[in-house]
Homo-oligomer: A and B are copies of this chain.
Amino acid sequence: MSKGFLLVISGPSGCGKGTVSKALLERNEDIVFSISATTRKPRAGEEDGVNYFFIDEDKFSTMVDEGKFLEHAFVHNNYYGTPKEFVMEQIENGEIVLLEIDVQGAMQVKKNYKNVVFVFLLPPTMDELKNRIIKRGTESEEDIERRFKNAFEELDFVGEYDYFVINDKVNDAVIDIENIIKAEKLRVKRHSNIKNQVIKQGGK
């Protein structure tokens, strides 16, 4: 029986982790997406249990106290967290669970859990990183500069990850991550009794 693993796709804002994760999930129906819990109100079109688990602050606070999050954070006046139980169950069942998360969140996960594969998504150039931050179009010049400065500093965290993938073309980045998944499935450490499996296949 082989265990699955948590696949953390992370990187600075503007690296395209949302786009890459979405494309990866579309092409690989067997990958399970880890749904976050949040205290923020649903936006138009967002569904509870699909995009997020929408919960109130009391519930969130109780879950924090009970250690029910893999990681959690307070961002723009709202709480976000990754429910632990779902992820752990899926991994025990051999599933690969995708968690798309910022660098701070990934570092929280790294501190507390093993059996995680950390992928750092890089922009092809710093110019392109800036373009991507600008293209969101929802922010002031000051916000853009702040985000870019943060992103630049977050690149230092690449050394904490297992793999790096350069997100120049989304499709190429997805193929790189698919290769990482294929290789990680062949890791000896996640399989118990490999010898017995061979012996059982048709007998000694």
Interface residues of A (CB under 8 A from B): 120, 122-128, 152, 155-156, 158-159, 161-166, 176, 179-180, 182-184, 186-188, 191, 194-195, 198-199, 201-204
Contact = CB atoms under 8 A, between A and B. Distances in A.
Contacts of A165: 186
- Tell which of A120, A125, A176, A198 has the most Cβ of chain B within 10 Å: A198
The 4 closest A-B pairs by CB, nearest first: A183-B183, A125-B202, A125-B201, A179-B182
Nearest to A122: B198
B182 A161 contact: no
Given A155-B195, A183-B183, A188 B163 contact: yes
Nearest to A158: B194
